[in-house]
Chains A and B, each alone.
Chain A
Amino acid sequence: MTNIERTDRIDKLKLNDEQYFQSVIEQAYIVGLFSDKEIEKIQFDCFAFLAKLTERYNNGNSSSIRIETAQNILTSVMFTIGLCLKTYSSADEAAQALRDEKLEVLYQKGQKQIERKIHISKLIHSRITSNLFETPNVFYHASIVDSINGFFKLYRPDYFAHEINITADYSTCKPVNCTMGIEFIREYLEYLYYENDFCNHFQADNVHHLLCGYEDEYQNLLINIFEPVYISALGCILIHSDVYTLKLSCSDVKHLSRRLSGCSDIEFRHLLDSALEELITTLAISPKTAAYLNVCLEKVSIIIKNAISRNVPEKAFLILKYPEDTPEFKCSFSGKMDDELYRKVLQEVVACQTTEEKNQIIKKYIHSLADLEDIMLDAELSKTEMISVFQELTTGELAALAKKYDIYTKCSLSDMHSSEMRLYNCLNSYIAMLAPEQQSCVKEAAKIIRVIE
């Protein structure tokens, strides 16, 4: 018996997932399913429906509306109808529906789809949050809990169904394909669910130490947590060590690098596939999460391959680090002098003509880092004057200032005032001017200093 599968006239591959409604019309027109008149009718119906929605949006109080708002409502209408059209088994059937059904009916069906997606998204979200992986990384919690809650609060599917309203800073390992409205959130949450589920197979403490191996201050970095955990877990499997610990020593990493660099592309992929299979069995990972791990393996294998080819395998297979074991030096920025005295010193510094004079007064009267910082911010010292002050400081004092001003992490640049920014820039240039050994001394010292305000 011959295959009687129906052939569609519209090529599915030519449709745009984001602008589905428009692309169905366009393709239907190209293959001759729609005439010029039918296209015009759809356009007219669309604008007529927009007028109706606009009136509702204005509560009947205004006959006009800002163009951006109207365009947004129109985009929302097209997005909503697009969602309805996606439920048809083929684009031809979707085009047929556009011809036969009233636009408003398709819109209402689309709204139902949105409701369903909101419901599912909320369900996934509550599952993630009820079992949220514990990490001090601020973006993890902020994006998964706060941002998504914000989305549900702000989302207005009736007029702005295509809007996301949040930035979703935290990126998932697999990029989200959909970029609009609830479709984006639904997919984003699904990926987050799998990543969170996978991370939950490990102790938060082990993951914390693993990520410290990436960067001490990873808490404030916008990094994907799942990726390094996944890679290290694969590494552990490959060297037959306890995967739950995520622990790889320097020699383990070297061994892995040697083993993997000697492989052909096919062998390399085969090794990773087998490791993943074993990982799934060992950790008893659920089938859906396992499928996600499978999808992400391509990206992960590229990361590993790149790190090995650049001869930095430890950038992929992180080595656990225990910052709590590192000695810590507390450095106080408190202990300011009397206000009256400070004012006098400041006046004197400002009144001085030469850099040397300014420097001498600062050396004579300033005895704490807090006062030093204040005087440098308040006295409006030039770059040369600031540098001459820095020259008088010890490595420890420079490191304390570097730590206070996040010279090495550059986290809070945007929150700085202009005077702080000047101090930051001068300090940065001064440190860059130092000999390489001195620079690394300052950097190492800054790592172990804890600033106390």
Chain B
Amino acid sequence: MSFELTFFNDSSLIQRQAANEILKQNAVSSQFGLELTEQQALALVETRSLALKENGRIEFGGGVIDKLIYEFCDSPFISSVNYEQTLHDLIDIFYYYKNETIDLISDDELIKYMKKAYDGVCQGSLELLSGRELNRLARNLRFGELSDDSENSIDEEDDADDEY
């Protein structure tokens, strides 16, 4: 008789439900030539489980994979060749920074920030997204720091957007 949470993410029923939710997103992503198979969807759910475990988190409900697909499927830097791998990486990055930003930012805000940085200053580089932009965001949120290397920062791009 357990009321421990550890088994929650590993429940096969929950994993299958999550995979079905992901597959529903094919309707949107297919407009951009991106589609996932059932096997790929299950692999993404597996990645989510591992990412949650690694970051000491638990998720109820549909999760964020659907949101990541919806937001990123129109990125010019994602094609059918790198679609699945990018999603795996984005899931990892997302949960890592959910912790790093000590839950001060909502899922939607974090995903939007990731997308803007990925398509913008990072030019499709997940390394830059994770190692620089999100790191800067986390630092700013945690310590209220102003970044010293503001060159190429997403904030500058925001200003530019506002200007024009």
Contact = CB atoms under 8 A, between A and B. Distances in A.
Interface string A39-78: 1000100110011001100100111111110110010001
B63 A64 contact: yes
A74 B3 contact: yes
A22 interface: yes
Interface string B1-18: 111111010000000000
A71 B5 contact: yes
Nearest to B108: A61
Interface string B98-123: 11000100111100000000000000
B1 A67 contact: no
A64 B1 contact: no
B52 interface: yes
A162 to B, nearest CB: 13
Interface in A57-105: 58, 61-68, 70-71, 74, 78
**Which bracket fits the contact residues of B?**
20 to 34
Interface stretch (B53-61, B125-133, B141-149, B154-162): B53-61
Nearest to B103: A62
A51 B61 contact: yes
A25 interface: yes
Interface string B53-78: 00011111111100000000000000
Contacts of A66: 56-58, 99, 103
Interface of B is mostly: loop
A20 to B, nearest CB: 13
Contacts of A54: 60
A226 interface: no
A26 interface: yes
Contacts of B3: 22, 43, 46, 74, 78
A50 B60 contact: yes
Interface in A1-41: 22, 25-26, 29, 39
Contacts of B64: 63-64
Contact of B61 (A22, A39, A55, A61): A55
A47 B1 contact: no
A46 B5 CA distance: 11
A384 B3 CA distance: 60
Contact of B5 (A22, A29, A67): A67
Nearest to A73: B5
A63 B63 contact: yes
A46 B64 CA distance: 23
Interface of A: 22, 25-26, 29, 39, 43, 46-47, 50-51, 54-55, 58, 61-68, 70-71, 74, 78
Interface of B: 1-6, 8, 52, 56-64, 95, 98-99, 103, 106-109
Given A63-B60, A64-B95, 15 more contacts: A26-B1, A43-B3, A46-B3, A50-B60, A61-B107, A61-B108, A62-B103, A63-B63, A65-B58, A65-B59, A66-B56, A67-B56, A70-B58, A71-B5, A78-B3
9 contacts: A55-B60, A61-B106, A61-B107, A61-B108, A62-B107, A64-B60, A67-B6, A67-B58, A78-B3
